[in-house]
Amino acid sequence: MSRAAAASDQSAGRIGPNAIIQTAEALRLLRGEEDARRVFAAARLEPYLTAPPADMVDETEVIRLHRALRATLDDDAVRVVSAKAGQLTALYLLTHRIPAVAQRVLRLLPARLASRALSRAISAHAWTFAGTGIFTARPGRPTVYEISHCPLCRGQGTDHPICDFYAATFETLFARLVHRNARAREISCEAAGASACRFVIDW
């Protein structure tokens, strides 16, 4: 993608298709085809089940999908499905997007250095998963990521963090590239009234 096209996608609020593709896959794996169709129909995205998006999608579609998950499934099921979708997304990135040479270098580095290098890469590509949200990273141990105006929980209200998709994506990437004991957790969420969704990654 050219820089001009990337800038246009960022300003328009577009998100990589894995936010939809891997959520469909997680639903099918964990809940079956019927629940996948229920959720995607509620989000008005049912055509994606037979013809998955090949390019960046409008962030409003991702927002609708996550709202539909919460409207269709119980809270525990939503958390499990969202986390599985995040894990699948990270595995896709490791297989298809992050060069094998870069992965080998990260694994050879001390965890602190690897976490900084990985955080730089994630920050550079944050527009592909945060849309019009604003991503910031504070590398170190622990590493802290924040997403303000977060698309996953935009317009939703809960009493606990709900961005399990992001937490699982970050955790899987860190566990594979930084330290096998890496864990990520969302400590505050805009849906619960926080100023930003905050994720702490430690190992």
Residue 5 has pLDDT above 60, yes or no: no
Helix and strand numbers, DSSP H then E, in the chain: 9, 6
Q: What is the pLDDT of residue 7?
A: 44
Of 6-15, 73-82, 139-148, 192-201, the range with the lowest mean pLDDT is 6-15
Percent of the chain with pLDDT over 90: 94
pLDDT > 60? residue 145: yes
- Phi, psi at residue 61, to the nearest 5°? -70, -40
Residue 30 identity: L
In our burial notation (b when 16+ CB lie closer than 10 A, e otherwise), range 6-20 reads eeebbeebbbbbbbb
Q: How confident is the model at residue 1 (pLDDT cuts 50, 70, 90)?
A: very low
Local structure of residue 179 (DSSP, 8 states): -
* Residue/partner pairs of 22-29 with CB below 8 Å, 24 or more apart: 22/85, 22/86, 22/88, 22/89, 22/92, 23/65, 23/69, 23/81, 23/82, 23/85, 23/165, 24/48, 24/49, 24/52, 25/85, 25/88, 26/81, 26/82, 26/84, 26/85, 26/88, 27/81, 29/84
Q: Report the pLDDT value the prediction gives residue 64, as an integer from 0 to 100.
A: 98
pTM: 0.93
Pairing relation of β-strands 197-202 and 183-188?
Answer: antiparallel
pLDDT at residue 59, as a whole number: 97
List of domains in the chain = 3-202 (3.90.1520.10)
pLDDT recorded at residue 12: 66
> Following DSSP, what letter does each residue of 52-104 receive, concatenated?
---S-EEHHHHHHHHHHHHHHS-HHHHHHHHHHHHHHHHHHHHHHTS-HHHHH
What confidence score (pLDDT) does residue 2 get?
40
Task: Report d(CA 50, CA 23) in Å as an integer.
Answer: 14
Task: Give the residue from 154, 131, 126 showing the smallest Cα distance to 64.
Answer: 154
Peptide linkage before 142 cis (omega within 30 of 0): yes
